[in-house]
Amino acid sequence: MITVIDYGAGNVKSIANILENLGAEYKISSDKEEVLSADALIFPGQGHFGQAVKNLETSGLKNAVIEAATVKKIKFLGICLGLQILFEESEEAPEAKGLSIFKGTVKKFECGKIPQIGWNNIKTTSNNSFLTDDYFYFVNSYYVEPQDKSIISSVCTYGNVDFCASVEKDNITAVQFHPEKSSDCGKSFFQKWLKN
């Protein structure tokens, strides 16, 4: 059973729609025990880094998500903000501390139209296990800068910035783009992630 983490923000409905379309068993939950007992977790993205951290702390989900991803090693997919929250801090909310599962920061684009909205081409790295070089849909003003470059599984270019479009490490996959809004490419992404 896939548990879609409901932390009071995030594009839960779009995730639910594509999982239903694929016939995947899932539930949407904000319950700590259901997060810790899930077969797989999806952390949907949308919203403000600081507010997301606050919601996770207030609900008690923050420690549960960290334990699920790092101790129990539950299969984990983070999307957009769900990628950024895995890191230590963000320029969007300097006072907020992320999950710190990965070392690094979240930085704001300083060129081009902000936010980036639309389709962009990702280029996979040798760390990638199931992505393909293709166009995905992005909505982001910020991008992650991992300290450990070996976790990067794809990169993308916006303006004059080559940025991390996704990471993979052990049970964790996280992407800056929105596969649930990426048409056939996104559907293929979820099919491959479910089997991976």
User: What would the pLDDT profile of 57-86 be if each residue is shown by its tens digit?
Assistant: 999 999 999 999 999 999 999 999 999 999
Reported as a single tens digit per residue, the pLDDT across 21-49 is 999 999 999 999 999 999 999 999 888 99
The answer to whether 139 and 184 have CB atoms below 8 angstroms apart is no
77 is in which domain, residue-wise?
2-195
Kindly tell me if the per-residue pLDDT of 1 is higher than 80. yes
33, 80, 91, 164: the catalytic one is 80
Lowest mean pLDDT among 3-17, 147-161, 179-193: 3-17
25, 91, 178, 185: the catalytic one is 178
Taking the C-alpha atoms of residue 63 and residue 65, their distance in angstroms, rounded to an integer, is 5
Establish whether 67 is a catalytic residue. no
Establish whether 164 is a catalytic residue. no
For the chain, how many structural domains are there in total?
Answer: 1
What global pTM score does this model have? Answer: 0.96
DSSP string, the chain: -EEEE-SS-S-HHHHHHHHHHTT--EEEE--HHHHHT-SEEEE---S-HHHHHHHHHHHTHHHHHHHHHHTS--EEEEETHHHHTTSSEETT-TT-----SS-EEEEE--SSSSSEEEEEE-EE-TT-SS--S-EEEEEESEEEEESSGGGEEEEEEETTEEEEEEEEETTEEEESS-GGGSHHHHHHHHHHHHH-
Establish whether 178 is a catalytic residue. yes
Q: Read off the tokens for 171.
A: 């049970």
Supply the CATH number for residue 83's domain: 3.40.50.880
Reported as a single tens digit per residue, the pLDDT across 138-177 is 999 999 999 999 999 999 999 999 999 999 999 999 999 9
* Cα of 68 vs its chain's centroid, Å: 15
Reported as a single tens digit per residue, the pLDDT across 104-136 is 999 999 988 999 999 999 999 999 999 999 999
